[in-house]
Amino acid sequence: MGGVDPGCGAGVGRDLITALHLLARVIIVGTAWTEPGHATVHGVEPRDPERVRVSLAAALTAVATEPSAVKIGMVATAATARAVADTLGSYAGAVVYDPVLRATSGGDLYEGDRESVLALARRASLLTPNLDEAGWLLERTVSSAEEAREAAQALLALGIPAVLVKGGHLEGDAGDVLCSAEGERVFASPRIPGPSPRGTGCALATAIAVGLARGKRIEGAVAEAKAWLSERIAGASLVGGEMHL
C-alpha cells in the first residue's frame, strides 16, 4: 500500500519491483497519486479513503488462504490512516508500516495528526521510520545514533510492537536500531560512496514484509532485507538522471 510515484523510483512502484525481484506475489493498493517536480514533489492527490478501504479488503480476501504480509507506505491523510487500521481488523499476517511523511527531495506527503499515524503504527507488527519521521512522531529532534536509540525505545513505549529507526541520514556508517519486546539490536552498514538511490526506505520495508510473509522472525527478516538492500545500492544505476536500485 502506498502512493503512486509516476517514475516508480519510490512508492508502490518500487514496492512492486522489490517484491517481484524477491519472487513474491504482489497486490497493489494505491493511496494517492503524486506529481513530481524538478527537485521536489509539488502535488499530491489522495485517493478517497472509502476506495482505499474497499481495495484493501479485496486484497486481504484474495490472500486469505496464503501466507502473506501487508506493507504500508504513504497514507496521505488521517482519514486514510484510520480506514487502513480499521480494515486490517483481525488480519493475522504481519504488517510493516513505513510512515512516509515527506519526500526525500522535499514536499509534504501526509496531511493529518500524529495520533492517526500512531494508531496505525500500533496495529502494525513493525514500524520503520527514518530519523525525521521518528522525530515528528515524538515531537523531538532525532539526529544522532544515541537519539535514534532513545526514539526507538520511546516509540516502543507508546504501544508499537516493534520499531526499526533507520539511520541512513546519520554521519558515517548507517546504523538502524531495532527495538522490540525481545530487546534491541543495531544493524550497522558501511556507507556506500556515490549518490543515494531513490526509494531505499520503500524497498527495505517491502523486503522485510516479504521475509515476514515467509515465516521469518522480525530480526531475521530485517537482517536479510538489509543485506539484500546493501547489494542493490552497491549496484545502483543512473536512469533518467536518477540513481535507481
Residues 178-208 have pLDDT tens digits of 999 999 999 987 777 666 777 899 999 999 9
What residues does each domain of the chain span? Answer: 2-237
| Residue 216 banded pLDDT, cuts 50, 70, 90 | very high
Q: Assign domain 2-237 to its CATH superfamily.
A: Ribokinase (3.40.1190.20)
Q: Cell 533518467 identifies what position?
A: 240
The answer on pLDDT for 88 being more than 80 is yes
The answer on pLDDT for 73 being more than 50 is yes
Q: Provide the pLDDT for residue 42.
A: 59
Q: Provide the pLDDT for residue 118.
A: 96
Q: Provide the pLDDT for residue 194.
A: 65
Q: Provide the pLDDT for residue 236.
A: 81
Look at strands 30-36 and 2-4 and give their pairing. parallel
Question: What is the four-CA torsion angle of 83, 112, 73, 189, rounded to 10 degrees?
Answer: -140
Do the beta carbons of residue 117 and residue 110 sit within 8 Å? yes
To the nearest whole percent, how much of the chain has pLDDT over 90? Answer: 70
Do the beta carbons of residue 36 and residue 221 sit within 8 Å? no
d(CA 139, CA 36): 28
14 closest CA partner among 202, 144, 231, 215: 202
Q: Go through 166-189 and write b for each residue having 16 or more CB atoms within 10 A of its CB, e for each that does not.
A: bbbebeeebbbbbbbeeeeeebeb
Q: Cell 556506500 identifies what position?
A: 192
Model confidence, pTM = 0.92
Measuring CA to CA, how many Å separate 216 from each of 60, 70, 90, 124, 203?
20, 14, 20, 16, 17
Do the beta carbons of residue 192 and residue 234 sit within 8 Å? yes
Residues 27-61 have pLDDT tens digits of 999 999 987 654 455 578 999 999 999 999 999 99
d(CA 47, CA 49): 6
- Average the pLDDT over 97-109 and give the result: 76
Q: Looking at beta carbons, which pairs linking 230-239 to residues 24 or more positions away fall under 8 Å?
A: 230/189, 230/192, 232/197, 232/203, 233/192, 233/196, 233/197, 233/200, 234/192, 236/194, 236/197
Residues 106-143 have pLDDT tens digits of 557 888 899 999 999 999 999 999 999 999 999 999 98
The alpha-carbon radius of gyration of the chain (Å, integer) is: 16
31 closest CA partner among 15, 17, 51, 16: 51
Q: Would you give the DSSP letter of residue 190?
A: P
